[in-house]
Structure 1
Amino acid sequence: MRVLTLDVGNTSVDVCLFDGSLRYVGKFSHRDVPLLSADLVLVSSVKPSANNIILEKYPHARFIRAEDVPLQTAFKGKERVGIDRLLNLYGAVQLFSKHVVVASFGTATVIDLAVDGVFQGGFITLGVGAGLECLSQRAELIPELKLKKLLPPIGTDTEGAILGGFLRQSLHFLMACVQSWSELYRRQLGLLITGGDGWLFEDIAPYEPLLIHKAMLLLLGFYSKP
């Protein structure tokens, strides 16, 4: 069976195809998602305004809902949590560890925690790329910079000061969460990186860029832990 998985984010759509193995098709604007042959189309969407665009191309697409994800939460209101957060954490629990921090880096930076396989909560803040864009728009002398791995011990030029500052801010925030949660829950926590900008931090923990796609396939039994 050919299964298409669509991760509809705030700025773009990541597309994967599964026909026995998972293959990344590409990243597309919401209106440029390709029409591909598939027996089943699974969609994770955090941009409701784009859902009709997807349905125009794939009328029988199945949108994953919170109630579809068999992930327990330690709080009320699971139905109000972003489906991307639920799927990423579900995938991490199933494929990686029941005590795990998932850090997703994209338009937003999302850091979530599972203990004993139960979603405890997390934090959401502005993503690195979005932060850079915001700074260049609001500060007249700050240039537009492209994301790249740049972590100097101290910034000695504009690029190093800005990129190094943003990356260190995200990195130290992430590691502070891991440390404080480890102490709070008295668990040794694993760390998994995902998201379109997760490659910036792939040196500190395993990077699973297709985690959300694997999670969608797991729900229907098309994917299993290697």
Structure 2
Amino acid sequence: MLEDWSRFKEEVISGTEHKKLKIGLGARVYSNRLFPRIVGYFEKHPELEVTFYTEAGLDAYAAIKDGSLDMALDRMPENEIGMEKCVCFAKELIREKQCVLTAPDHPLSKKGKASILDCREYTMLTGLEHSVEDRLLRKTYGEQNITWKRVIRSDSIDTVMKMVKSGSGIAIGPQSFAEYYGVTAVPLVPARQDSLYFACLKSKKKEPEIREFQRYLTTLVSSACPD
């Protein structure tokens, strides 16, 4: 009977149509060490079939609105992405100070803090033109009418950070990037903050799979970052 029951369960499970979820993941998911815990969550939910999208140039919030993604864990700069509050739901998970990211032996690494003006004589490393990263950088230095000495773009955050580490240029990013990628973070002044958000369509917010995953993430970051 036990053997028959085990065989029956395997047949039922294998024949069950899984719920498919498409999730966008930004670089801050990795630098804040959330990804292994996210994978662990879905390992406990075999009824969910998950596809992760991790393109550095992906506009996750546009993808949520057009239905290409079910949800995203990514930055959501205030007044930049243009998420309509009547359409999208977003919950802040982790807030981080923005820093100038440099090689450990870079001249700026010796400073206790750095401004955008301090950065203008160095090569700036950023995302593809018109990407979220690029739009934010333009907003940051556009306020001060700064022209960079040189800009190098890449569609890979790993490539950008390898160039930072080698001393080929500097980048703007959160404190968590420093330890994760082995670079130096110099706090940006005036102080700026950026956040990692959970986001989905409001119409999907109460779907069981999305609701439970969002609750899990909220509990996860609360225990990991009580402040």
Same fold (TM over 0.5): no
Q: TM-score, normalised by structure 1?
A: 0.28
Which structure has the greater CA radius of gyration?
2
Normalising by structure 2, what TM-score?
0.28
